[in-house]
Structure 1
C-alpha cells in the first residue's frame, strides 16, 4: 500500500512540476508573443485604461484624455489640434500613433523603464506607472505666426535656434485635427477615409516628411562648397561664367532670372540669384567635393531623428556633369525637407557648426520630476568658420540689396536667400517659393533664429511666385517675434 502511495505522490509531483513549468512558459517565455497576438485584447484594454500623459508646448498641455466609460476607456484629446498636429501627430485606438505620440509612447503610456522607481521594476511586476509628460521646444508665438502666415496654403515652416538646435516652430499646411481619429467608432473610420482621400493631403507632415526641389535656396550650399574647396577665393571678384551658359556636354542654355550675371562675382550671384554662376561653380567643385559638402549639411542622412523620423534630403551620388550643374542650383534630382533647409541657414548663422536639431526639451514623471533631458550636441561641421563668415555677409547683402529685401528688419542683422524651384513634367508645375534666413540683434552675441519657409500654393499666379514675395514675409514676421524674445 505504501508503495502505491509513493507512486501516486511521485506522479502528482511530476504533474505539479509540469504545471509550474507550463505556467512559467506562458507567463514569462511566451508572454510577449501572447501579448502581441491580435486575438488578445487585454494589452489594448490595459493601454487605454488610464489617461495618457501630456505633450506640453510653452508650459501648457496641448493634449488631454477623455473618459468614455467604454471598454477602451480613455481617448486622446487635442487643444489647437491643427496648429500642433505636425508636432504631436495623432494617437488613435484604431490607427496607432504618429510623430511625438509614437516616438515618446513609452513615456506617455507610463511603460518607459525610466519612469519606474527601481531598475527592471516593470519587467518584474508588469505594471504601468502613470503616463509621463513630454515637454517640447516649440515656441507658441512662432508656431502661431507661421501657421497664420501660410493661411491654409500648401507649404511648411521650420524655425530653430542655430546655436542649440532647438526646434522653435514646426508647421505644415493645410493641417487637420488629430482628435477626430482618437476613438474607434464608425465616425473615426469615416474621418480617416476623408483625410487620406483629401487632394491637399492634410495628414502629410510637409515640414519633415516631404521633400521639395530647393531651387536657388540651395545655392548657399554650393557657395559653401566653392569657398571651402578654394574654387572661389574672393567672393567679390568676377568669375569666368558666360551668359548664356551652356550646360556641359549639351546644347541646353541655362537662363538667369535677372540681367548682369555674365562673369558675375559670387557675391552678386547670391544677391541676385544667378543660375549660370552657381551652376558653373558646382561643376568646378566637382561631384566628389560637392557630395562631401552636402553631406556635412545633412543631405543623404538616413538616420536623422528629432525624435520623429525625418525624410532623407537627396543629392544624387552618381550623375553626369550637366546634371551636376543643375543639381548645384537645387534642381534635377536634388530635394530637401524644410527642416534641412533651416539647417542650411542655421549652419551659416552658427559659424559653420551645425547643432543637432531636436523637438523634445525634456520628459518628466506625472509629478514633474525630470526623467530625461535632451543635451545640446554637434551634428556636423558644415563648413569652415571663415566660409561661414563670408556667407553671412553675402546673405545679408541679399536682404539689404537683393532679392530678399522683403525680409529686412529695421535695427536687426538679417541674412537670407530666396528660391524659386521648378518642378513637374517639363517644369510645367507652379514653382515652389522658398526663403531661408537667420536674424540677429546687433547687440547680441549670436543669431536668435534660423528659418526656412516653402510655399507650394497651386492657386497662385505662376508669374508672381517667388521666395521673396511669398515666403519671405512669413520668415520676417517670425524673425521679428524671435528677436523680441517670443514665448
Structure 2
C-alpha cells in the first residue's frame, strides 16, 4: 500500500512541477507573443479602463476624458481642438496617437515606469495589462502660451500655412500653429462616425491633419538669405556690410548663360546691407558662391538643416540644404531656391539664432511631466543645439534685420515702442516657378529696455486662392508675425 501512495505522490509532484513549468513558460517565455496577439484584448481594455492624463497649456487642461460606459470606457476629449491640434495631436481608440499624445503616451496612459514610486520595481511590470506596470495617469505641461497660439491661429484665418514662435534664450516653443486644422475629438472613439471623419479629413484638399509647422518643408526663399549672410560674415567674405559688392544686375549664374534677376530695384553693385533690406537675389547668390559649398553646408547645418533626428519631442521633418551641387545651383540654393527646403520650425530657429547672439537653443515643447499627485516626473532644461554664428555676426545681422523692418520690405511687422528685426521672403515653386509663391516672414522682437528679445517667429502662408502678384512676405506673412510678437511682448510686460 505504501508503494502505491509513494507512486501517487511522485506523480502528483511531477504534475505540479509540469504545471509550474508551463506557467513559467506562458508568463515569461510566451508573454510577449501572447501580449501582442491580436486576439488578446486585455491590453486594449486596460488602456481605456481609466481616464487619460491631461495636456496643459499655461496650467489649464486642453484635453480631457469622457466616460462612455462602453467596453472601451474612456474616450479622449479636447478643448479648443482645432486651435491646439498641431500641439496635442490625437489619441484615438481606432487610429492611435500622434504628436504630444504619442511622444508622451507613457505618462498620459499611466504605463511609464517613471510614474512608479520605485521606478526599478515599476519597470519590472509590462505596460498594457492589468497590474502589469500601469499607474495612475500623469499630466504633460507644454511650453505653449495661449495668447500667442490664438494670435497665430486667428492671423492665418484658415489659410494654408503655419506659424512657429520660440523663446530665443531658452528654445521654448511658445506657439505652434498649422492651418487649416481639425478637431481631434472627431477621431477619439470607435465605430462609423470616427471612420467617416477619418476618411473625410484624409480626403480634404487642405490636408488639415498635416502638421505644416513640423512635418512640411517649403522653399524658404529670401528668408534663407540670413543664413547666407551669416556664412559670408563669419568666413570673412564680407568685412563691410555697407561697401559695394561689385555684383551686376542681373547676375550670370556660374558656368551658365542664365541670368538671375531681381524683383527689387537698385541692386546693381548693392551692399550687403541694401541687399538684405530689399532682398536682392543677385548679391546673396554671388556671396553663396564665394563662401563655397563646404562652408555653406556647414553654416546651414549649424542652424539645423540636414538634421533628421530633431525632436520637440514630436518628430520634425528634415530641412534640406544639398551637400553636393554645382556652383550655379549653389547660387540658387543660397537664396532659398533650387532644392533648399525648410520647416517653419527651422526658420524660427534661424531667427532665434540672430536674436540670441548666434547660439541656437534646442527647441522643446514639453516643460514638465507630472504624476497624478502632482509630483514632478521630468523637467526640461535649456540645451544648446549649436552655435550658428559668432556673436559679432549676430549683432551685425540683428541690425540689418531691424533695418528691414524700419526702412525696408518688412515694415508691416513694426511694433511701436519695440525693437523688431525681420526678413521677408517670397518663395517660388512649381514647374517653371509657376506655382503660387509662398509668403514668408521670420523675425524677432524685444521690448524697450528689455535685456534680450522675447520671441522669435516664422510665418509661412501658402494661399492658393490669392493672386500671384499680391503675395509677398511683407504683405501676407508679416502682419501675422506682428500680432504674435505683440502678444509675446504684452505677456512679458504682464509678467514683469
Q: TM-score range by the shorter chain?
A: over 0.9
Q: Which runs of 4+ in 1 moved over 4 A?
A: none
Q: 1:233: how far off?
A: 0.9
Q: What is the aligned partner in structure 2 of residue 347 from structure 1? A: 353
Segments of structure 1 that go 5 or more residues without pairing to the other structure are: none
Q: What is the aligned partner in structure 2 of residue 275 from structure 1? A: 281
Q: What is the aligned partner in structure 2 of residue 233 from structure 1? A: 239
Q: Report the TM-score when normalising by structure 2.
A: 0.97
Q: 1:416: how far off?
A: 0.1
Greater mean deviation of Cα atoms: 49-58 or 116-125:
116-125
Aligned 1:383-394 pairs, distance under 5 A: 383-394=389-400
Aligned 1:436-455 pairs, distance under 5 A: 436-455=442-461
Q: Please give the per-residue CA displacement for 1:292-331, whole angstroms capped at 9, x wherever unaligned.
A: 0000000000110000000000011111111100000000
Q: What is the aligned partner in structure 1 of residue 314 from structure 2? A: 308
Aligned 1:71-470 pairs, distance under 5 A: 71-122=71-122, 123-124=124-125, 125-470=131-476
Q: Please give the per-residue CA displacement for 1:412-470, whole angstroms capped at 9, x wherever unaligned.
A: 11100000000011111000000000001120110000000000010011001000000
Q: What is the aligned partner in structure 2 of residue 42 from structure 1? A: 42
CA distance in 2, matches of 1:411, 1:68: 52
Q: What is the aligned partner in structure 2 of residue 20 from structure 1? A: 20
2:369, 2:378 within 8 Å by CA — same for their partners in 1?
yes
CA distance in 2, matches of 1:148, 1:119: 43
Q: Please give the per-residue CA displacement for 1:269-299, whole angstroms capped at 9, x wherever unaligned.
A: 1000000000000000111000100000000
2:112, 2:133 within 8 Å by CA — same for their partners in 1?
no
Q: 1:33: how far off?
A: 2.2
CA distance in 1, matches of 2:120, 2:19: 27
Q: 1:130: how far off?
A: 1.3
Q: What is the aligned partner in structure 1 of residue 7 from structure 2? A: 7
Q: 1:104: how far off?
A: 0.3
Greater mean deviation of Cα atoms: 327-336 or 126-135:
126-135
Please give the secondary structure, in 1, of the residue aligned with 2:425. Answer: strand
CA distance in 2, matches of 1:176, 1:8: 69
Segments of structure 2 that go 5 or more residues without pairing to the other structure are: 126-130
Q: What is the aligned partner in structure 2 of residue 484 from structure 1? A: 490
Q: 1:333: how far off?
A: 0.5
2:83, 2:150 within 8 Å by CA — same for their partners in 1?
yes
Please give the secondary structure, in 1, of the residue aligned with 2:17. Answer: helix
Greater mean deviation of Cα atoms: 299-308 or 16-25:
16-25
CA distance in 1, matches of 2:336, 2:33: 48
2:113, 2:133 within 8 Å by CA — same for their partners in 1?
no
RMSD of equivalent CA atoms: 1.1
Q: Please give the per-residue CA displacement for 1:117-156, whole angstroms capped at 9, x wherever unaligned.
A: 1123332451421110100000000000000000000000
Q: Report the TM-score when normalising by structure 1.
A: 0.98
Q: 1:6: how far off?
A: 2.8
2:355, 2:398 within 8 Å by CA — same for their partners in 1?
yes
Q: Please give the per-residue CA displacement for 1:58-112, whole angstroms capped at 9, x wherever unaligned.
A: 2210000010111100000000000000000000001000000000000001111
Greater mean deviation of Cα atoms: 127-136 or 204-213:
127-136
Q: What count of residue pairs does the alignment treat as equivalent?
A: 487
CA distance in 2, matches of 1:242, 1:155: 35
Please give the secondary structure, in 2, of the residue aligned with 1:453. Answer: strand
CA distance in 2, matches of 1:263, 1:10: 101
Please give the secondary structure, in 2, of the residue aligned with 1:335. Answer: coil
Please give the secondary structure, in 2, of the residue aligned with 1:485. Answer: helix
Please give the secondary structure, in 1, of the residue aligned with 2:436. Answer: coil
CA distance in 2, matches of 1:475, 1:364: 33
